[in-house]
């Protein structure tokens, strides 16, 4: 579906995307994750050929992007923009037409979608009369109006209230079930944890991690246990299986060495003190990200994550 | 191509549907015609009033004759010039003048004329008045005195004024323009110049206005970020051309409306005769065709440049700075008509009409005044087409990169870099 090979993009003074490679298979929801400024939007703009990479190549539907393949893609940019003076329906139909569908189809689908997101009464209003949330829904419709096989959404939830966020999530899941491929770029990792099958984590233009979300979680959670332990932490630190211990208030988060059995440290801890809570960690994407970034010696601005 | 036309359609419909389009279409020619014809009309329709003049006739023989010479009447039949003879018997001239000055101050009279004793010999007289500005009145007044004094002199020499008048009658030369080998009946140079000026002002106004509309629309699209959606659907060049052609078509619509009205007016006006027919005679279908052609050429040339300016700017204010050299080129072309009109076939005019920046307006003007050789007209069109192509090419490159640049405006060096890279 999409393959990015060794792509680099430099702006004067800094490298926005640095030797990035990734492959998106057809079907499912693919998460492109990372903090603000990680290079997600730059990557997507390069996929859409809005900007050109300095190095590397991008294939989409097994070939470089052409005018014809643009018609198979729906793109919701991070920067939202519409023709403010146009009527809602005209706007949607126009964007549909430049994606190659004919006028009558565009009108029909636009009306269907407007009803579906409960904006049917607004079709003859000028865009600028709509609230920001409504405009965002209109823009989302324009992204999918031409029935694209690949949908690329850059920060689709920003600025949406919880209800509309849920509506949008439902639509994304429906699209996946219809066999479309969705690429979802966001810095809100917990938002997509339940949506994405595969993810790619990037930071400072570089790929930190890529793979199937469930496998990644399994892999990382196997080595992490969290424990509320009243006793001397130093005793645990000395235990051979332990890689590292971090403290979060009363809780300890313990990284185990590869191949260590989580049960062994539990029985050791019980011998040495009181264990009030013990969990073979369900690890969040956020934690995985921090672990991986720190592993690579990168710095991280916590606010961004 | 198909997508480009969707953009054309959108740009066109969104603008033609606006009220401002209708207003501009109606007001444009009225405004331009007004600016050019207003002074003349104003002169014509300024209500005339009685001019009261006191005359101190030192010679004692001229007053009556002047009075009978100035027998003009106002539309209501009363005399326009009301003359009053001032008796000088025994009074100092300065005393009389002091009194008359007071009368002028209190608007009892408009002025007074002092004719010295030897006026017939010396041809010198003095007029005192508050308003010396009304040229028409003053000229009439002067010529009346002239005639009286001259005829008085002739009489003293034993000659008859009427006889001499017939003998020294000037030859009147009627000016008739030959256009495309044909005599153009009844076309005074004034009317050609005036109507040409109206068309030139319209050309200037619409090229500038629609060019800036293109620039604005690029900036607007950049600012409301709709551009990224557009670029995910079509090529930048489609967007650029779509915009320019769309806006150009709006202007063209306006032109076709004007031209149709002008031709209908011409058809009707010719039968009316008089000055109306004179103006109508200038509105030939050929002139109208050139009018449309040079609008299109001028618009596309300037609009591509304005689009380039729009692409590198983030606000209209920024653009105003950068567009200045372009606007100045246009302004220059409406300043030069005065120079061209003196010698429309000269080196200067010919050269100017073949430089793309100036061609649309200058060539159109020359065509109206003297019909330059066909090869020059053809050459000017070819040069314009070439210039549009180059301008569009450069503009497209700047556009391609500029439309996604936000923040600091690039300097000229960077822009040149883009042109090479894209």
- Domains in chain A: ranges and CATH: 1-72+149-213 (3.40.50.300), 80-142 (no CATH), 223-304 (3.30.70)
The answer to whether B337 touches B200, Cβ cutoff 8 Å, is yes
Find the residue in A nearest to B406 (Cα).
A79
In chain B, residues under CATH classification 3.40.190.10 are 47-162
Task: State whether B228 and A79 contact (CB < 8 Å).
Answer: yes
What pLDDT shows up at residue B59?
76
Task: Summarize chain B as % helix, strand, coil (round to 5).
Answer: 70, 5, 25
Distance CA B198, CA B191 (A): 11
Domain B47-162 CATH superfamily: Periplasmic binding protein-like II (3.40.190.10)
What is d(CA B283, CA B286) in angstroms, rounded to the nearest whole number?
A: 8
B69 to B54, B62, B79, B129, B371: CA distances (angstroms) = 15, 11, 12, 21, 46
Closest Cα in chain B, distance from residue A49 (Å): 8
Q: What is the dihedral of CA B74, B79, B85, B86, to 10 degrees?
A: -50
Question: Tell me, what's the pLDDT at B412?
Answer: 73
Kindly indicate the confidence band of residue B156, based on its pLDDT and cuts at 50, 70 and 90: confident
CB A9 within 8 A of CB A16: yes
Helices vs. strands in chain B: H and E counts, helices first: 18, 6
Chain B hits for A75, CB-CB cut-off 8 Å, are 228-229, 232
Contact B366, B337 (CB under 8 A): no
* Number of residues that make up chain A: 305
Q: Is B14 on the interface with A (CB under 8 A)?
A: yes
Residues of B in contact with A50 (CB under 8 A): 228, 231-232, 404
Which one, of B245, B248, B239, lies nearest residue B220 by Cα? B239
pLDDT at B214 over 90: yes
Q: How far apart are CA B398 and CA B236, in angstroms?
A: 10
**pLDDT (0 to 100) of residue B122:** 77
**Sign, CA torsion A25/A29/A35/A41:** positive
How far off is chain B from A241, nearest CA to CA, in Å?
52
The whole-number pLDDT of residue B315 equals 84
Look up residue B79 and give its two tokens.
Answer: 């005399």
Cα Rg of chain A, angstroms:
23
Please state, in angstroms and rounded to a whole number, the distance separating the CA atoms of residues A5 and A14: 20
Closest Cα partner for B220 from A294, A169, A84? A84
Bridge partners (DSSP) of residue B127 are: B113
Residues of chain B neighbouring A65 (CB-CB closer than 8 A): none
Of the two residues B133 and B150, the one the predictor is more confident about is B150
pLDDT at B416: 74
DSSP string spanning B364-395? HHHHHHT---HHHHHHHHHHHHHHHHHHHHHH
Question: DSSP H helical segments within B106-226, as ranges?
Answer: 119-122, 135-156, 161-167, 189-223
pLDDT in tens, B42-89: 666 666 677 888 888 877 777 888 888 777 777 777 777 888 888 777
What does pLDDT average to over chain B?
Answer: 82
B231: which chain A residues are within 8 Å (Cβ-Cβ)? 48, 50
ipTM higher than the 0.95 cut: no
Check CB contact under 8 Å for A82 and B224: yes
Q: Are B5 and A96 in contact (CB under 8 A)?
A: no
Sequence-distant (≥ 6) Cβ neighbours of residue A125 within 8 angstroms: A87, A88
- CB contact (8 A) between residue A67 and residue B228: no
How would you write the pLDDT of chain A (305 residues) with one tens digit per residue?
Answer: 899 999 998 887 788 898 999 999 998 899 998 888 888 999 998 998 888 888 999 999 988 888 888 899 999 998 778 888 899 999 999 999 999 899 999 999 999 999 988 899 999 999 999 988 888 889 999 999 999 999 999 999 887 888 888 888 999 999 999 999 999 998 888 778 778 889 998 988 888 888 888 888 777 776 788 888 887 777 788 788 888 787 777 778 787 887 778 888 888 888 888 888 888 766 777 777 877 777 766 555 444 44
Cβ-proximal residues to B298 (8 Å cutoff; 6+ apart), any chain: B203, B207, B359, B360, B361, B384
Q: Using a CB-CB distance cutoff of 8 angstroms, which residues of chain A are in contact with residue B19? A: none
């Amino acid at each position: 579906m999409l393959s990015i090979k060794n792509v680099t993009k430099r702006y004067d003074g800094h490298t926005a995307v640095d030797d990035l490679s990734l492959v998106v298979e057809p079907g499912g929801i693919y998460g492109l994750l990372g903090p603000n400024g990680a290079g997600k939007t730059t990557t997507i703009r390069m996929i859409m050929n809005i900007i050109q990479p300095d190095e590397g190549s991008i294939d989409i539907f097994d070939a470089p992007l052409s005018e014809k393949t643009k018609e198979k893609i729906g793109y919701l940019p991070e920067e939202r923009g519409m023709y403010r003076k146009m009527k809602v329906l005209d706007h949607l139909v126009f964007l549909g037409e430049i994606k190659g569908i004919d006028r009558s189809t565009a009108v029909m689908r636009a009306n269907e979608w407007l009803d579906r997101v409960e904006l049917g009464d607004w079709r003859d209003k000028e865009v600028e009369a709509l609230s920001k949330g409504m405009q965002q829904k209109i823009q989302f419709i324009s992204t999918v109006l031409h029935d694209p096989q690949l949908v690329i959404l850059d920060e689709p939830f920003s600025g949406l209230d919880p209800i509309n966020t849920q509506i949008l999530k439902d639509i994304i899941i429906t699209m996946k079930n219809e066999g479309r491929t969705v690429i979802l770029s966001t810095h809100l990792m917990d938002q997509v944890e339940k949506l994405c099958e595969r993810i790619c984590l990037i930071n400072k233009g570089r790929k930190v991690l890529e793979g199937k979300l469930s496998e990644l979680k399994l892999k990382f959670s196997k080595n992490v246990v969290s424990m509320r332990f009243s006793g001397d932490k130093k005793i645990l630190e000395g235990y051979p299986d332990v890689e590292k211990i971090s403290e979060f208030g009363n809780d300890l988060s313990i990284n185990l060495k590869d191949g260590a059995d989580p049960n062994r440290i539990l029985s050791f801890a019980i011998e040495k003190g009181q264990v009030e809570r013990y969990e073979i960690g369900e690890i969040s994407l956020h934690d995985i990200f921090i672990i991986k970034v720190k592993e690579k010696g990168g710095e991280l601005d916590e606010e961004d994550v | 191509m198909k997508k480009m036309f969707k953009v054309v359609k959108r740009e066109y419909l969104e603008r033609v549907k606006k009220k401002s389009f209708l207003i501009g279409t109606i007001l444009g020619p009225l405004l331009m015609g007004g600016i050019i014809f207003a002074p003349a009309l104003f002169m014509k329709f300024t209500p005339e009033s009685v001019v009261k003049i006191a005359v101190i006739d030192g010679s004692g023989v001229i007053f009556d004759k002047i009075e009978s010479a100035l027998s003009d009447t106002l539309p209501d039949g009363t005399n326009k010039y009301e003359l009053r003879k001032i008796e000088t018997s025994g009074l100092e001239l300065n005393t009389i003048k002091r009194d008359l000055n007071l009368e002028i101050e209190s608007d009892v009279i408009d002025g007074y004329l002092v004719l010295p004793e030897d006026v017939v010999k010396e041809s010198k007289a003095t007029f005192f008045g508050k308003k010396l500005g009304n040229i028409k009145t003053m000229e009439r007044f002067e010529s009346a005195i002239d005639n009286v004094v001259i005829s008085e002199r002739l009489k003293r020499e034993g000659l008859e004024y009427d006889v001499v008048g017939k003998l020294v009658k000037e030859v009147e030369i009627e000016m008739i323009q030959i256009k495309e080998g044909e005599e153009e009946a009844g076309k005074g140079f004034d009317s050609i110049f005036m109507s040409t000026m109206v068309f030139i002002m319209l050309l200037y106004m619409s090229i500038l206005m629609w060019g800036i509309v293109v620039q604005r629309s690029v900036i607007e699209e950049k600012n409301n970020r709709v551009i990224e959606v557009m670029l995910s659907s079509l090529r930048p060049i489609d967007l650029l051309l779509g915009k320019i052609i769309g806006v150009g078509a709006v202007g063209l619509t306006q032109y076709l409306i004007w031209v149709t009205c002008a031709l209908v007016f011409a058809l009707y006006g010719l039968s009316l005769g008089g000055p109306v027919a004179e103006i109508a005679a200038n509105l030939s279908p050929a002139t109208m065709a050139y009018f449309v052609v040079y609008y299109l050429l001028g618009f596309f040339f300037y609009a591509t440049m304005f689009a380039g300016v729009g692409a590198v700017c983030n606000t209209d204010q920024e653009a105003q700075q950068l567009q200045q050299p372009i606007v100045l080129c246009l302004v220059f072309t409406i300043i030069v008509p005065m120079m061209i009109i003196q010698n429309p076939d000269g080196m200067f005019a010919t050269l100017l009409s073949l430089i793309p920046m100036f061609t649309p307006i200058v060539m159109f003007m020359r065509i109206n005044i003297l019909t330059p050789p066909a090869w020059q007209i053809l050459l000017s069109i070819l040069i314009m087409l070439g210039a549009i192509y180059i301008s569009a090419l450069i503009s497209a490159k700047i556009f391609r990169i500029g439309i996604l640049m936000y923040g600091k405006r690039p300097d000229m060096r960077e822009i040149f870099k883009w042109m090479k890279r894209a």
